[in-house]
């Protein structure tokens, strides 16, 4: 990108951020949530910080970001304070974040496209199912340098160990130790990276596109 094009890109991003922030203060947090589904890439980090999220330096959001339960849930805060993203993190296109409870992504972590991080479950329509599956809620923490694959789902309360991998399309319902690979539905440990036994599987085989 040439100097003029870069300047134009950044200027457009700043103007987009100012407009989105103004709409947020006038019309409420729902307008910010809607904007982030199709944002100017240069506006995302500023806008998240402006409404309460903690976002570290050099964090990158590729494109669309889907935020849910920012204000509707009983544990919602009405802003983005439940979201904490560390330094040098990468958040892929179309990632879904349930902010009914806290989500903490530590430094240098990667969340590939279309991954979903859930912090609560609540079947509050059927009385029978509500008795069978009572509401649950818990924060999710993704450790430093961890890699969450394309389309993976992390259930409420999960803690991902540092430099661990959750494979593409997996559904994780439990904690993982550091430097391990989990895959499947439900996800189970398939490899210990500490031993150096990575086999012949490539990164794309495990986590898919970003």
pLDDT beyond 70 at 1: no
> Is the domain of 58 the same as that of 45?
no
Q: Model-level pTM greater than 0.85?
A: yes
CA nearest neighbour of 15 among 40, 35, 32, 50: 40
* Average confidence (pLDDT) over 110-134: 94
* Average confidence (pLDDT) over 32-51: 96
What's the pLDDT at 9?
79
pLDDT digits (tens, 9 = 90+) for 153-182: 999 999 999 999 999 999 999 999 999 999
> Is the domain of 21 the same as that of 90?
no
Q: Is residue 140 part of a domain?
A: yes
> Is the domain of 140 the same as that of 60?
yes
pLDDT beyond 80 at 64: yes
Phi, psi of 24 (to 5 degrees): -65, -40
Is-contact 93 121, C-beta < 8 A?
A: no
Q: Output b/e per residue, 165-185; b: 16+ Cβ within 10 A.
A: bbbbbbbbeeebebbbbbbee
Q: How many domains does the chain have?
A: 2
Residue 23: CB atoms within 10 A of its CB come to 15
Q: What is the CATH number of the domain that holds 119?
A: 2.160.10.10
Instruction: Provide the CA 201 distance to its chain's centre, in angstroms.
Output: 25
Choose one of 51, 71, 88: the last residue of a domain. Answer: 51
Structure tokens at 7: 């300047």
> Is the domain of 63 the same as that of 37?
no
> Is the domain of 70 the same as that of 36?
no
């Amino acid at each position: 990108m040439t100097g003029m094009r870069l300047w134009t890109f950044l200027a457009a991003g700043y103007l987009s951020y100012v407009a989105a922030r103004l709409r947020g203060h006038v019309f409420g947090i729902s307008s910010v949530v809607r904007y982030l589904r199709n944002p100017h890439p240069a506006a995302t980090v500023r806008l998240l910080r402006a409404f309460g999220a903690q976002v570290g330096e050099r964090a990158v959001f590729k494109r669309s970001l889907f935020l849910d339960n920012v204000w509707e849930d009983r544990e919602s805060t009405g802003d983005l304070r439940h979201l904490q993203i560390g330094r040098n993190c990468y958040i892929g296109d179309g990632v879904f974040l349930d902010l009914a409870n806290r989500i903490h992504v530590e430094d240098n972590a990667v969340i590939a496209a279309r991954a979903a991080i859930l912090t609560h479950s609540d079947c509050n329509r059927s009385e029978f199912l509500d008795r069978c599956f009572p509401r649950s809620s818990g924060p999710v923490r993704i450790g430093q340098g961890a890699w969450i694959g394309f389309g993976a789902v992390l259930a409420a309360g999960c803690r991902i160990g540092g430099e661990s991998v959750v494979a593409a399309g997996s559904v994780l319902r439990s904690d993982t130790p550091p430097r391990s690979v989990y895959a499947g539905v439900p996800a189970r440990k398939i490899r210990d990276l500490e031993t150096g036994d990575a086999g012949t599987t490539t990164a794309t085989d495990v986590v898919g596109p970003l």
